[in-house]
Amino acid sequence: MSIYFTKEHEWVKVNGNRGIVGISDHAAHELGDITFVELPQVGKTVKQFGILGAIESVKAASDIFAPVSGNIVKVNDSLDTKPEAVNESAEAEGWMAELEISDAAELSNLMNQDQYNDYLKTL
């Protein structure tokens, strides 16, 4: 399984033609206490860097962008009742959606873990 990041702090963990999407630990810490996660609809088609959903915290509301294009096949419904899971485990239990990736070549537009760590140092 490979993980890739966007400059807007979303991640996608890729396993074959499926990708699990969420926001990075960095983004979760920046947002503060997360109070609501708006998940996409199963069956929705998203485009790379298009809006996937939204997230609200005590500090701000932010759009969540799709790291890759694809069809939403599953969402993390547990975030409806426990949005704080994103704060507690942004890159594991706090995942938001699973999608079927429509164009694996788009992964070249993203950063790997080392590149993302270097990017965070510039912020």
pLDDT per residue over 6-38, tens digit each? 999 999 999 999 999 999 999 999 999 999 999
Q: Which domains does the chain have, with CATH numbers?
A: 2-121 (2.40.50.100)
Task: Report residue 1's pLDDT band, with 50, 70 and 90 as the boundaries.
Answer: confident
pLDDT per residue over 43-70, tens digit each? 999 999 999 999 999 999 999 999 999 9
The end-to-end CA distance of the chain, in Å, is: 27
pLDDT per residue over 67-104, tens digit each? 999 999 999 999 999 999 999 999 999 999 999 999 99
CA-nearest of 101, 95, 88 to 15 is 101
Q: What is the dihedral of CA 31, 37, 40, 41, to 10 degrees?
A: 180
Q: What is the pLDDT of residue 57?
A: 97
Q: What is the pLDDT of residue 28?
A: 97
61, two tokens: 């509301």
